[in-house]
């Protein structure tokens, strides 16, 4: 075990291997590892962000649903009120209309009745006069009873 | 084995602890250390480089997953200890951990397997575990030491570094003592770093060799020692890496 020129040869080997490691082994592997570390960190951050976004979104959707519900129930109430109002209005209009029709019919009926009565009165008068004429032609002077019949007609 | 004869115990041990050499004097090269450590490094760092070039930042699969695990483990240690921003520290720590680990792991291959294969092809000596060669551990610790010195200059500047050397820990009045302390402290770093790794692996290998001498009794013993040795292999790689990070961190902190 003596020290000799092998030492120099071994130093050259050692220097060569340090150089290989320094130039060709360490930088690319270190870069690969650092890049992977960065990717993993980015991935985790993205996941965290996604979770946060999901939370926000679900809160927002709950808010939206609640708002919609409130709005819908408001619309329902409004509609009910409107419907009731419209029914009331329709009822009022119908009542007024019905009264109008009823009154018109009533008036018409009155007129008809009046007309019929007048016609009837005329006919009865005529009939009575005809009957009386027939009786009186036999026994009484027509002119003498005309006054009395007119007074009777007035009373009817 | 060197020859067909059955070796004695001490011959067997000595044979296992002899490097495959070329050259003489200082210019001796341990071919087994150089080739095994170089081949392991080229395979591991080459495949890591190929894999890194295809690395995806999407879902990692298979080997990318495994290497990312190792690299992020080492990088975590670097981040915890070293607070400067030099781009060399993390790759340095990764290189040390992976390379030392894979070289130590050669210890788990049965001690006679590779030497027997090698001797069949005409290579008579083969010390398989490169970290049992102090040339390798010193080469690594000296390289770390040089990077440490360079980092001192880079972070603190020449003036700041000199000021630290001469004034810490006792103040400017005791400058020579401070310098002496600093020299001892800094020299101790690479020596302890390399001898720790060398000693642990050498001793572990020695135990494997001794167990291999026990004949049939090696079977119940080799497994527990191998299992225990997995711990030492990992621990020594970790300690070398960790201390390197600590030294780098000390080099880049100003007082």
Based on the structure, what is the number of domains in chain A?
1
The answer to whether position A56 is within a domain reads yes
Average pLDDT over residues A84-112: 94
Is B3 within the bounds of a domain? no
Mean pLDDT computed over every residue of chain A: 90
Classify residue B94: in a domain, yes or no.
yes
Nearest to B26 among A4, A22, A35 (CB): A4
Predicted model pTM: 0.74
B76 touches chain A (CB under 8 A): no
Q: Enter the ipTM.
A: 0.90
Q: Quick one: tokens of B3?
A: 């020859």
Contact criterion met (CB < 8 Å) for A24 and B53 = yes
Does residue B1 lie in a domain region? no
Q: Distance (Å, rounded) from C-alpha B187 to C-alpha B183?
A: 6
- List chain B residues with pLDDT less than 70: 1-5, 254-255
Q: Specify the DSSP class assigned to residue B106.
A: G
Q: Pick from B229, B151, B154: which is nearest to B189 by CA?
A: B151
State pLDDT tens for residues B187-207.
Answer: 999 999 999 999 999 999 999
Distance from CA of A41 to the nearest CA of B (A): 13
Query: In this structure, is residue A8 part of a structural domain?
Result: no
Find chain B residues with C-beta within 8 A of A26's C-beta.
52, 71, 90-91, 94
Is B119 a member of any domain?
Answer: yes
Partners of A16 on chain B (C-beta within 8 Å) are: 41
Q: Which amino acids of B are annotated catalytic?
A: 192, 196, 200
Does residue B159 belong to any structural domain of this protein? yes
**Helix locations, chain B, DSSP H:** 9-16, 31-53, 62-81, 89-104, 113-120, 134-167, 175-212, 218-251
Residues A62 and B105: their CA atoms lie apart, in Å, by 66
Residue A73 sits in which domain range?
33-155
Instruction: Give me the domain span that covers residue B163.
Output: 9-251
pLDDT tens for A4-57 read 899 999 999 999 999 999 999 999 999 999 999 999 999 999 999 999 999 999
Instruction: Identify all chain A residues contacting B38, using CB atoms and an 8 Å cutoff.
Output: 13
Are B97 and B245 a contacting pair, CB within 8 Å? Answer: no
Q: How far is CA A135 from the centre of its chain?
A: 83
Q: What gap in Å lies between CA A38 and CA B224, rounded to an integer?
A: 44
Tell me whether residue A107 is in a domain.
yes
In a domain, B17, yes or no: yes
**Closest C-alpha to B45, from A9, A21, A30:** A21
Residue A46: strand, helix, or coil: helix
CA separation for the pair A54, A52 (Å, rounded): 5
What are B20-43's pLDDT values in tens digits? 888 888 898 999 999 999 999 999
Tokens at B195, concatenated: 């001898």
- What was the pLDDT predicted at A141? 64
- Domain membership of residue B112 (yes or no) is yes
Residue B39 located in a structural domain: yes
């Amino acid at each position: 075990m003596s020290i000799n020129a092998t030492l120099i040869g071994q130093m050259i080997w050692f220097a060569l291997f340090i150089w290989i490691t320094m130039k060709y082994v360490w930088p690319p592997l270190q870069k690969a590892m650092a890049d992977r570390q960065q990717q993993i960190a980015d991935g985790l951050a993205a996941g965290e962000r996604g979770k946060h976004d999901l939370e926000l979104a679900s809160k927002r959707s709950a808010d939206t649903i609640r708002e919609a519900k409130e709005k819908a129930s408001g619309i329902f109430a409004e509609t009910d009120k409107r419907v009731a109002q419209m029914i009331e209005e329709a009822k009022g209009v119908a009542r007024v209309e019905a009264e109008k029709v009823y009154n018109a019919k009533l008036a018409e009926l009155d007129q008809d009745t009046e007309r019929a009565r007048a016609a009837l009165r005329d006919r009865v008068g005529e009939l009575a006069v005809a009957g009386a004429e027939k009786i009186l032609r036999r026994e009484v002077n027509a002119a003498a009873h005309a006054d009395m019949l007119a007074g009777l007609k007035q009373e009817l | 084995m060197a020859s067909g004869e059955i070796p004695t115990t001490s011959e067997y041990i000595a044979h296992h602890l002899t490097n495959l050499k070329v050259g003489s004097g200082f210019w001796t090269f341990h071919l087994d250390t150089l080739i095994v450590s170089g081949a392991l490094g080229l395979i591991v760092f080459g495949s890591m480089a190929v894999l890194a070039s295809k690395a995806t930042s999407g879902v990692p699969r298979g080997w990318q997953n495994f290497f990312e695990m190792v690299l992020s483990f080492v990088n975590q240690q670097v981040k915890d200890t070293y607070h400067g921003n030099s781009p060399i520290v993390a790759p340095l720590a990764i290189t040390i951990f992976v390379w030392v680990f894979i070289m130590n792991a050669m210890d788990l291959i049965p001690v006679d397997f590779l030497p027997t294969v090698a001797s069949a092809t005409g290579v008579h000596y083969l010390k398989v575990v490169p970290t049992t060669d102090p040339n390798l551990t010193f080469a690594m610790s000296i390289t770390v030491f040089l990077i440490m010195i360079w980092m001192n200059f880079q972070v603190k500047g020449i003036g700041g570094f000199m000021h630290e050397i001469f004034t810490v820990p006792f103040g400017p009045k005791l400058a020579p003592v401070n310098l002496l302390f600093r020299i001892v402290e800094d020299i101790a770093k690479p020596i302890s770093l390399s001898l720790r790794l060398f000693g642990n692996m050498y001793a572990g290998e020695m135990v494997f060799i001794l167990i291999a001498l026990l004949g049939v009794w090696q079977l119940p013993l080799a497994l527990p020692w191998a299992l225990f040795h997995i711990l030492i292999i990992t621990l020594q790689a970790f300690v070398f890496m960790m201390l390197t990070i600590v030294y780098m961190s000390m080099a880049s902190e100003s007082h």
